[in-house]
Structure 1
Amino acid sequence: MNKILIIIQREYFTRVKKKSFIIMTLLSPVIFAAMMIVPAWLTSQEDTKEKVIAIDDTTGNYATALKSTQYIKYQTLTDKQGSQDKQKLAKQFDALLVIREDLLEKKPNVHLYSDGQITMDVIENIKSNLNGHLRQLKLESYNIEGLDSKIKEINQLRVSINTIRLDEDGSEKQSSAEFAIFIGMASAFLIYMIMILYATQVMRGVIEEKTSRIVEVMISSVKPFQLMMGKIIGIGMVALTQFFLWIILTVGVVTTVQSTFLTTVNKVEVSETNNDHKATSATSSKAQNVEASINKIIKIIKDANLPLILGMFIFYFIGGYLIYSALFAAIGSAIDNETETQQFVMPVLLPLILSIYVAMAVFRNPHGDIAFWFSMIPLTSPVVMMSRIPYDVDTWELILSMTILTASFILFTWFAARVYRTGILMYGKKVSYKEIWKWFVQAGK
């Protein structure tokens, strides 16, 4: 046991002291945040370049329905201008909108010509204006009394659904389907990436020691099983250390952003009391709306069963990592260099890759047969079960899945240790699946 602890210590401290480990530990929370924030920020950016859209409406019924915005301007063409060549008009303006038929009588198709590719903002603006105008015209054709007031009343109807989870003691907790999808998918992807990253590190470490012949010296002092387990556990502890540091740093980032935002809101409110301007009032209203949204998200997170999610994440990561790292250690012991790994690595990774696709389907039916069985199979359960846990999986399913995973780890480790014992000292031989099976059988004799 002391020898295994020495190997664990060596593997752990060798890796946590590396600059790459320190840099990735500090940068990853920022990268994760950027992956969520930057796309949302980019999609919220409005195209501020002014565009002039020429309208050639021979019916005379729809040009007035197209309302100009700050950056999209509509200009109705005269009959003389409309008779000009379309290509010339498309170059003169940013785009040319042509309407030749009554859109209520014919299939509502219009044509938009442009010299270059037009943006989606322009297309959506045109569609929104024309669709609204057509609805208005159709409703007016029914001769409904008090139409305008009824339309305003209809447009004000908005359904907002607050999802509330009732616990066994009758207490109510705020829940969110979007949050369940996010936390399930984030957990599944994170456990998938960490398992691949650190399990393959075990394989590379074994190959490196084997090719440098250091393993021959180490085997003279420790048993092959001790060497393999020391390496697996040591690298696993590195992964857990990095994961916990990510949690601490992420909580720190969230707390900092929240406190900074609240300070900004307070400043806006103070400014509003000193300067009673519409712009300031609008800014304050927006800030308060965002603050309310942030507080709602924080309440949902607090009401979620985070201890269970975190505990299960750690368990399924450890179980899945131990299984895959044992298999990768066996692969590393069987080959002499990384160029030979492909034929052995891909079959091992296929169940893990499949589990990601199953996890993405789980959100539609988290308690279906596919979700259930793949959360029981030990090679896929770490990813699939983590995507199911936010949907309140039955306790017996969790216990059964955890039991199967634990038993499978023992079985896979036993298999890998027998292969590792023979393969670690084999050099210069082309290895096949048949040869690996022979090592496994002979190790028991």
Structure 2
Amino acid sequence: MNKVLLIIQREYLSRVRKKAFLVTVFLVPTLLLGMYAVMYLIYKNSSELNATHVVKVIDESGKFAGKFHDKKKIHFQSLNQPLPLAKKDLKKHEDDILLFIPKVYSSAKSVQVFSEKKPNITLSMEIERQMNEIATNNNMVARGIDTAQLRNIRSDISISSKEVTDSGDKESNVGALYAVGVAGAVLIYLSLFIYGAQVMRGVIEEKTNRIIEVIVSSVKPFQLMLGKIIGVALVSLTQFMAWIILSVAVSFIANKYFNAPQSPILGMLDGLKNVPFAYIISCFLFYFLTGFLLYSALFAAVGSAVDSESETQQFMFPITMPLLFTYLISVSFLAQNPDSSLAFWLSVVPFTAPVAMMVRLPFDPPGWQLAISMCMMVIGFIFTTWVASRIYRVGILMYGKKASYSELVKWFFYKE
């Protein structure tokens, strides 16, 4: 056990002390702070964003004139002049918009907008929305319907989601729960690929440099593999925690000193007040660590079986396919149907559980399903580590021989 701890310590310290690690840890928050600074400068100094657009209206139908409502940065102005003359005036005022409404405006593309520059999508949608509203009101008035009375009786219903629990009703923000589940699944998916690949590269590097021959004279291959996997897992956790803490701190600074637009991180936190973070974070750490141990053991076995990273492709796809499949359907199906049979089975199978269960966690799956999933994860990573170690102990000392699936099976059954 002491040897494993020494290997973990070596792997962890050798990686976190590298300049690349420190640069990466501080690069993300620095880029985030830079993004807020750029947003602040754009919103403060951009004349285009702060400019008021003048929409000049030529209404030949006579049914829209004087009925448009000015908005914060949109001013409507009626014109009584021919269209060709109004189009010439646009050259003098290139920021203005000319809206032409013919006598028969109901046919497709009969209403036209002219401008020296392309009008932005927000302006075009606002003009279209107001015209449809005015036309609808005109049609109702023509049929003798009192539009003022309709506005008075129009309802504006807002639904508040409540979850019934033994301790009483509590707020249930479905959008926030959806975001938390998908975010947890994405973090685990990316971390397993990024840091699992680091384990594989480390094994390949030690093997090709022949350092491994010296190391295995002092420790068993299984101890070396386990120490390397846990060490890299701790490095990834350190990086994630640093990113989260520094990003939140940067968001507070940006909102306080830059007076920037609402931070997406802080806005997300405002909507997550009722999410059980302690429960979700503890489960996230469990599935991250067990999933990392499971997949990194397989990555280490692959690294021991090849002499270069280019030879890993034939082994990588079968390993990563279950995780990739679960990730792809997590947004389209699992988050929409967290209690389905497919969601249950995917959260039980160790190769898919880290992503599937993270999507289901915010929706409070039954405790017995969570217990089964966690037990299967522990059994899964123990079994996978044992299988991978039997391949690792042989492959790590093999050189110059291209491995195949049949060769890996032979290595597995070799006796000690």
Asked whether the two chains share a fold, i.e. TM above 0.5, the reply is yes
- In the superposition, relative to structure 1, how do residues 380 and 31 fare at CA in structure 2: closer, same or farther (>3 Å)? farther
Partner of 2:118 in structure 1?
117
Helix, strand or coil: the match of 1:303? coil
2:382 counterpart (389, 399, 410): 410
CA shift for structure 1 position 221: 1.4
- In the superposition, relative to structure 1, how do residues 110 and 413 fare at CA in structure 2: closer, same or farther (>3 Å)? same
- In the superposition, relative to structure 1, how do residues 25 and 403 fare at CA in structure 2: closer, same or farther (>3 Å)? same
Partner of 1:10 in structure 2?
10
Helix, strand or coil: the match of 2:113? strand
Q: Deviations over 1:309-357 (max 9, x none)?
A: 0111011001110111011101111111122222322332222222222
1:391 counterpart (363, 369, 372): 363
Looking at structure 1, the residues matched to 127 and 385 of structure 2 have their Cα atoms a distance apart, in angstroms, of 63
Partner of 2:49 in structure 1?
47
Partner of 1:356 in structure 2?
327
Helix, strand or coil: the match of 2:349? coil
> What does residue range 132-151 of structure 1 map to in structure 2 within 5 Å?
132-144=133-145, 147-148=147-148, 150-151=149-150
Q: Deviations over 1:280-300 (max 9, x none)?
A: xxxxxxx9xx9xxx89965x6
CA contact (8 A) 2:173 2:274 kept: no
> What does residue range 176-325 of structure 1 map to in structure 2 within 5 Å?
176-249=173-246, 252=249, 260=256, 298=270, 301-325=272-296
Looking at structure 1, the residues matched to 310 and 268 of structure 2 have their Cα atoms a distance apart, in angstroms, of 51
- The residue type equivalent to 1:315 in the other structure is F
Looking at structure 1, the residues matched to 214 and 31 of structure 2 have their Cα atoms a distance apart, in angstroms, of 41
2:163 counterpart (159, 162, 165): 165
CA shift for structure 1 position 53: 3.9
- Which segment drifts farther, 20-29 or 36-45? 36-45
CA contact (8 A) 2:305 2:395 kept: yes
> What does residue range 327-346 of structure 1 map to in structure 2 within 5 Å?
327-346=298-317
- TM-score normalized by the length of structure 1: 0.79
- In the superposition, relative to structure 1, how do residues 337 and 106 fare at CA in structure 2: closer, same or farther (>3 Å)? closer
Looking at structure 2, the residues matched to 143 and 41 of structure 1 have their Cα atoms a distance apart, in angstroms, of 52
Helix, strand or coil: the match of 1:59? coil
- The residue type equivalent to 2:379 in the other structure is A
CA contact (8 A) 2:98 2:114 kept: yes
* Structure 1 spans left out of the alignment, 5+ residues: 265-286
- The residue type equivalent to 2:318 in the other structure is P
- The residue type equivalent to 1:17 in the other structure is R
CA contact (8 A) 2:37 2:254 kept: no
Looking at structure 1, the residues matched to 294 and 39 of structure 2 have their Cα atoms a distance apart, in angstroms, of 36
CA contact (8 A) 1:418 1:444 kept: no
Partner of 2:152 in structure 1?
153
- In the superposition, relative to structure 1, how do residues 36 and 444 fare at CA in structure 2: closer, same or farther (>3 Å)? farther
Helix, strand or coil: the match of 2:50? coil
- The residue type equivalent to 1:428 in the other structure is G
- The residue type equivalent to 1:363 in the other structure is A
RMSD in angstroms over aligned alpha carbons? 3.6
Helix, strand or coil: the match of 2:99? strand
Helix, strand or coil: the match of 1:64? coil
- In the superposition, relative to structure 1, how do residues 32 and 406 fare at CA in structure 2: closer, same or farther (>3 Å)? farther
CA contact (8 A) 1:204 1:338 kept: yes
- In the superposition, relative to structure 1, how do residues 141 and 37 fare at CA in structure 2: closer, same or farther (>3 Å)? farther
Partner of 1:419 in structure 2?
391
Looking at structure 1, the residues matched to 291 and 38 of structure 2 have their Cα atoms a distance apart, in angstroms, of 32
Count of aligned pairs: 406
- Which segment drifts farther, 200-209 or 374-383? 374-383
CA shift for structure 1 position 152: 3.9
Q: Deviations over 1:246-271 (max 9, x none)?
A: 4544565577789x59xx9xxxxxxx
Partner of 2:66 in structure 1?
64
CA contact (8 A) 1:89 1:96 kept: no
CA contact (8 A) 2:326 2:356 kept: yes
* Structure 2 spans left out of the alignment, 5+ residues: none
